[in-house]
Amino acid sequence: MIPIGGKLRKSLNTNKIIFISDYFVDEILGGAEKCNDALIQYLSKDYSIKKIKSKFVTPSLVLENKDSFFIVANFFELSEAVKAELQQSCDYIIYEHDHKYISTNNPIFFKNFLAPEKFIINKEFFSNANNVICQSKLHAETLYKNLLINNIINAGGNFWSQEDISTLQKNINCEKQIEYASMKTANKNKGMNKAISFAKTKKINLSLIPLMKYENFIETLAKVKNFVFFPQWMESYSRVAVEARILNCKMITNRLLGAASEDYFKLTGQDLLDRIKQNNFALISKIKSVINGQTVHSGFEPKTIPKITISCSVYDGDKYMSHFLEDITKQTIFDKCELIVVNANSPGNEEEVILEYCDRYPNIQYHKLDYRATTTEVINMVIDELATGDFVTVGNIDDRRRFNCLEIQAKHLMYNEDIDLVYGDCLQTKEINETFENNSSEGSLYEHSKKRFTKENMIKCLPGPMPMWRRNIHDEIGLFSHEYVYANDWDMWLRMVSVGKKFMKIEEPLGLYLFSETGRSTSAEHFKSKIKEESKLFFQHKDIFGEKNFNLYKQHFSQGLTNE
C-alpha cells in the first residue's frame, strides 16, 4: 500500500471534479483522449465534472474552485503559475498518459530509460500531486526511477467506453482478409516508417490503415492477420496493441509497449476483452478511491534505494561542524542514510553540536578516538568496521551538497548496475560555510568537473570531493592505502579503473567545494610531499592515462622524482 500522496489532503466534502486536458475527444480522436472521455463518462455517474482545456486554466480559476477535486491529464499547455497554484491550494491527481517528467517526453533515448538530470522536468508538480496515475507497470516503473516519488499508482490499463467495448465485441471473430497492416499516421512516434522498412526488408505487402472513425478503424483492424507496430517512443500503455490482440491479430512489434508489462497482455480474443471489461470496473473503483482519499495499492513494486553510509572525519572543525550537519541532514533521502562521524582526537569543541544532532537523528553515529587518526584511517575504519550501507560517500565538513545530491547519486548508481562509482559537477568557492543554494562561486567549477569520465581523463582525480560508490568494491581491491597522505583518493580510484570498474559523471552541479590555499592537498607548503605521491601513481598507472597524456604530463610529474 502507498501513502495517500505527496502532500496532506484537505478535508473535501464535494462531488465536483475539474478535469483538465490539452484536448478532448471532440477535437482529437487519440487513445489518450478516448481514455479520458471514457473515464469522464464513468465518473459522471457519481460526480459533477467540468472539462476545461489546459491553456484556458488560470490561477484565479483554480482558486475559485479550490474546494473541487482536480484531475490533470495531458498538460503541455498548462502554465507554471497554474501548476504552482494547484500545488499550494488544491487536491489533484495527475492522470499521466505519456512522460511529461522528461523534457524529451520519451525515455527511450536514455540508457535504462533513466534520463540525465538536466532532462528532468515537472518534478515538484508530480511529487506534490495527491497521486500520479500511470497506465502500466512499465510506465509506473519508468516514472518512478526518474523522479523517485512515493505517490505513484499503476492503473494497469485504459478505460474503454461501453460503446467501444460493443464495437470490439461485434468484430472479435471477423474473418482475416489482410495479411499485414500497420497504421497510416504522421505521428513519428507511432513508427509507420519503421513498419514500412520492415515490410521492405521482409518483402511483404503491407497495408496502411488510415485515420478514420473508431468503428471503421476497428472493423478494418479486425480483418488484419498480422499487425505491424514499431512505436518509436515508450508507449505508456498502447491501446491499439490491446485492441489488436482482442481482435486476434498477431503482433509484430518491439519492446516499447507498456501494456506488454501487464500479465493479462498474454491473453487474446474474448478472454482479453472480458479482462478489459473487468478492468473497467476495477479501475474506476481505484480512481474513486484515490479521489475519496482512501489508501490504494501502488500496483507495482518500486525499487528501494539501498542504505548509504556517509563517512565523516572530524579534526579541528569547530567553524564548520554545525553548518555541515545542518546541510547534510537536509538531504532529501537522509532517512535512508547512516552518517558515521569519527572524532579523530580533535583539539576542537565539535562534540557538543555533534551530540545535539545525534539526539535529533537516530541514524547518526558518533565515535571519538583517543589518538590522532588520519583521514585514511578514519574512512578505512568506517568501511571495514562500522558501515552497514551498500553505497558509500564521504562527508567533508567544509564542503556542501545540493539538497538532493545523495538522491541523484543513489538513483543513478542503483539503476546502472554496470556503474561502480558516480559523481557530479562541483562548484568552487573560497568562502567558508556558504551553501550550494547561496554562494559566491559565480558558476565556476572545481577542476575535476571540467572533463567527462574516461580512463585517459583520470589523469585528474575526476570523482572529486563527494563521489558515491559501491561498498562491496573494497572486497575486491582492498581499502584506501596508508602509503598516501595527499593522494589516497586518486590512488583508490586509479586502482578501481585499473581492474575495470566504471565511473559515471552526472552532468549537473551537485555540490560546493571549498578551495583553500592552506588546505592539506592544495597548499604550497605541502607541494613537495604531494607531488612525490602523485608522481609515483602517475608512473605506476601510465597505461591508464594513455600515451598522449603520459607525454603531456610527464615533465610535471617528474618533479616528484627529483624530490627524492
What is each CA distance from 201 to 195, 205, 231, 261, 418, in whole angstroms?
10, 11, 18, 28, 34
- 318 has pLDDT over 80: yes
Q: What is the pLDDT of residue 2?
A: 42
Position 503 scores a pLDDT of 97
**Percent of the residues in the chain that have a pLDDT greater than 70, as a whole number:** 95
pLDDT in tens, 411-445: 999 999 999 999 999 999 999 999 999 999 999 99
- The domains of the chain, with CATH numbers, are 16-154 (3.40.50), 162-291 (3.40.50), 308-523 (3.90.550.10)
Radius of gyration of the chain (CA): 29
* Residue 179 to residue 252: CA distance in whole angstroms: 12
**Predicted TM-score of the model (pTM):** 0.92
β-bridge mates for residue 392, sequence order:
309, 469
- Tens of pLDDT, residue by residue over 336-377, are 999 999 999 999 999 999 999 999 999 999 999 999 999 999
pLDDT in tens, 506-547: 999 999 999 976 555 554 556 788 899 999 999 999 999 999
Mean pLDDT in residue range 64-69: 94
User: What is the mean predicted confidence (pLDDT) over 198-223?
Assistant: 96
Q: What is the spatial distance between Cα 8 and Cα 540, in angstroms, rounded to a whole number?
A: 58
Phi (first) and psi of residue 459, to 5 degrees: -60, -25
User: In this model, does residue 12 exceed pLDDT 80?
Assistant: no
Crossing angle of helices 488-498 and 542-562, rounded to 10°: 150
CA dist., res. 157 & res. 139, Å (int):
11
pLDDT at residue 390, as a whole number: 98
Helix (H) or strand (E) holding 99: none
Alpha helices by DSSP H, listed for 393-480, are 405-415, 473-477
At residue 29, the pLDDT reads 79
DSSP structure class, residue 482: T
Q: What is the average per-residue pLDDT within 175-182?
A: 97
* Residues 91-150 pLDDT 10s: 999 999 999 999 999 999 999 999 999 999 999 999 999 999 999 999 999 999 999 999
| Residues 453, 543 contacting (CB under 8 angstroms) | no
Closest listed residue to residue 408, CA positions, set 504, 321, 474, 340? 504
Q: Write out the DSSP string of 160-181.
A: --HHHHHHHHHTTTPPP-EEEE
The DSSP string of 102-138 is BTTS-GGGSGGG---GGGB--HHHHHTSSEEEESSHH
Q: What is the DSSP letter of 445?
A: B
Mean pLDDT to the nearest integer, 236-264? 97
